[in-house]
């Protein structure tokens, strides 16, 4: 019986040797392929920043002329929506409320980020302004236009406190009412 087990063991040794050679070849091909792919990716990614630096210099040079007033006039308008304001109006016939949703037209997209920074101050100042109004003042079209101008001046005063924008009327071009409800 021991002799019978020995030839079977010899046959078993031969079969795994063939499988291990195939497995070894497959693994080495995979490692070689992955290595070449990694090396190729390394060279491509290493060269990409060199080209991006060149592109950044060109982009900076091209960005300066874009800031001219002619380009700004041709640019589409940029609108920034503000959160809803709900305030008590000065009472005339009992309690009256104003719910106002507005958007502002800005001359530069970066002003939107600046608006977010000053949101608490803007909300405070606009709430004080709105709550100092009477419903009878705001019902007419002229009253709403005056309010829009006052809101515009108030926001420009916060965003441009030094008055640098007086020549160009501040960063806020126009105030637009999205919703205007008096109850």
Q: What is the pLDDT of residues 64-115, one digit of tens each?
A: 333 434 445 667 888 999 999 999 999 988 889 999 999 999 888 888 888 9
Question: Is there a single domain that holds both residue 88 and residue 26?
Answer: no
Q: Quick check: is 71 in a domain?
A: no
* Per-residue confidence band for 60, with pLDDT thresholds at 50, 70 and 90: very low
Report the SS3 class of residue 98: strand
**pLDDT tens for each residue of 111-155:** 888 898 999 999 999 999 999 999 999 999 999 999 999 999 999
72 within some domain: no
Residue 130: closest CA among 109, 99, 160? 99
Bridge partners (DSSP) of residue 87 are 98
**Alpha helices by DSSP H, the chain:** 2-66, 69-74, 110-117, 119-131, 135-138, 141-159
In angstroms, how far is the first alpha carbon of the chain from the final one? Answer: 105
- Is 161 found in the same domain as 87? yes
> Phi and psi for 95 in degrees, rounded to 5?
-70, 135
Tell me if 88 sits within 8 A of 97, measured CB to CB: yes
| Residue of 55 and 19 predicted with greater confidence | 19
One domain, residues 103 and 14: no
Instruction: Read off the pLDDT of residues 9-53 as tens digits, 9 standing for 90 and up.
Output: 555 555 556 678 888 888 888 888 887 877 777 777 775 444 444
Query: Of the candidates 66, 86, 121, which is a domain's last residue?
Result: 66
Is 132 contained in some domain? yes
Q: Which domain CATH number covers 118?
A: 3.30.479
Distance CA 177, CA 159 (A): 20
Q: Are residues 81 and 114 in the same domain?
A: yes
Picking from 66, 86, 108, the residue at the C-terminal end of a domain is 66
Q: Which helix (H) or strand (E) holds 78?
A: strand 78-81
Bigger pLDDT: 136 vs 62: 136
User: 3-state DSSP call for residue 1?
Assistant: coil
Rounded to an integer, what distance in angstroms lies between the CA atom of residue 1 and that of residue 9?
A: 12
Q: Are residues 9 and 41 in the same domain?
A: yes
Note down the domain range covering 58.
1-66
Of 66, 94, 113, the one marking the end of a domain is: 66
């Amino acid at each position: 019986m021991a002799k019978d087990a020995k030839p079977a063991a010899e046959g078993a040794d031969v079969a795994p040797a063939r499988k291990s050679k195939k497995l070894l070849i497959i693994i080495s091909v995979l490692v070689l392929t992955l290595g070449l792919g990694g090396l190729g990716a390394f060279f491509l990614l290493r060269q990409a920043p060199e080209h991006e630096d060149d592109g950044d210099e060109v982009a900076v040079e091209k960005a300066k002329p874009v800031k001219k007033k002619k380009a700004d006039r041709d640019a589409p308008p940029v609108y920034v929506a503000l959160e809803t304001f709900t305030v008590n109006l000065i009472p005339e016939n009992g309690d009256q409320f104003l719910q106002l949703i507005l958007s502002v037209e800005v001359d530069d997209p970066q002003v939107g980020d600046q608006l977010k920074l000053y949101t608490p101050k803007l909300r405070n100042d606009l709430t004080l302004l709105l709550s100092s109004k009477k419903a009878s003042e705001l019902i007419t079209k002229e009253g709403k236009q005056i309010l829009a101008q006052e809101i515009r001046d108030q926001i420009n005063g916060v965003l441009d406190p030094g008055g640098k924008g007086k020549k160009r009327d501040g960063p806020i071009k126009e105030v637009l009412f999205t919703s205007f409800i008096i109850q």
